[in-house]
């Protein structure tokens, strides 16, 4: 073979190698880099969300600790509110609205809770508020379906003299 023909053959082989190997590898590397950037951004957002959740949990734990040291005698409604919030924090529900009021004897307080969530979580919520430390007695429980899912509307009371 003559040198010009050999050079042309080698040049064609190099072009074919470039098209068959280098270009697909470059596009795969660019796709992997793009995916890496996306996952990194998601990780950063998730870490920020987790940090916010951890701060909220820490504030709630501090409030529960402060309220539990005061006990029912020192601000019974505030203590009961925190005890109910602690019970509710252990159930994955959303849209929680809580109202705690003083009640006439033989009751010490009445509690109204509204929340949204899955069927089993709403039933677990109703059971949790009857456990200590809140130890409420259920008065009225209504489950309904709304535009944003299943909702519970719960009225409960706390008997006077219960600690």
The residue from 70, 104, 122 where one domain ends is 70
Q: Give yes or no: residues 77 and 94 share one domain.
A: yes
Domain that includes residue 88, residue range: 72-159
Q: Give yes or no: residues 112 and 153 share one domain.
A: yes
Q: Give yes or no: residues 65 and 84 share one domain.
A: no
Domain tally for the chain?
A: 2
Least confident of 2-11, 20-29, 64-73, 118-127: 64-73
Q: Give yes or no: residues 103 and 153 share one domain.
A: yes
Task: Report yes or no: 82 and 100 within 8 Å, Cβ to Cβ.
Answer: no
- Longest alpha-carbon distance in the chain: 113
Q: Give yes or no: residues 144 and 115 share one domain.
A: yes
99: helix, strand or coil:
strand
Verify cis geometry, omega within 30 degrees of 0, for the bond prior to 79.
Answer: no
Helical residues (DSSP H) of 89-137, grouped into ranges: 119-128
Which tens digits make up the pLDDT trace of 63-83? 666 555 554 444 788 888 888
The residue from 70, 86, 109 where one domain ends is 70
- The residues pairing with 142 across neighbouring beta strands, listed in sequence order, are 153
Q: Give yes or no: residues 81 and 153 share one domain.
A: yes
The residue from 70, 103, 123 where one domain ends is 70
Angle 136-80-150 (CA atoms, 0-180°, nearest 5)?
Answer: 60
Q: Give yes or no: residues 88 and 122 share one domain.
A: yes
* pTM for the structure as a whole: 0.54
Task: Report yes or no: 116 and 95 within 8 Å, Cβ to Cβ.
Answer: yes
Measure the CA–CA gap between 155 and 105, rounded to whole angstroms.
17
Quick one: tokens of 34?
A: 């793009």
Please report the pLDDT score of residue 35 as a whole number: 95
Least confident of 22-31, 35-44, 68-77: 68-77
């Amino acid at each position: 073979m003559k040198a010009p023909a050999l050079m042309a053959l080698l040049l064609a082989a190099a072009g074919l190698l470039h098209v068959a190997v280098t270009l697909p590898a470059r596009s795969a590397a660019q796709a992997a880099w793009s995916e890496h950037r996306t996952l990194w951004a998601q990780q950063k957002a998730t870490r920020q969300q987790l940090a916010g959740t951890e701060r909220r949990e820490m504030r709630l734990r501090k409030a529960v600790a402060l309220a539990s040291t005061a006990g029912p005698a020192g601000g019974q409604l505030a203590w009961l509110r925190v005890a109910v919030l602690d019970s509710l924090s252990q159930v994955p529900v959303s849209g929680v609205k809580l109202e705690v009021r003083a009640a006439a004897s033989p009751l010490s307080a009445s509690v109204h809770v509204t929340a949204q969530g899955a069927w089993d979580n709403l039933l677990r919520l109703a059971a949790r508020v009857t456990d200590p430390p809140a130890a409420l007695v259920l008065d009225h429980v209504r489950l309904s379906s709304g535009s944003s899912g299943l909702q519970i509307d719960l009225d409960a009371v706390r008997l006077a003299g219960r600690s």
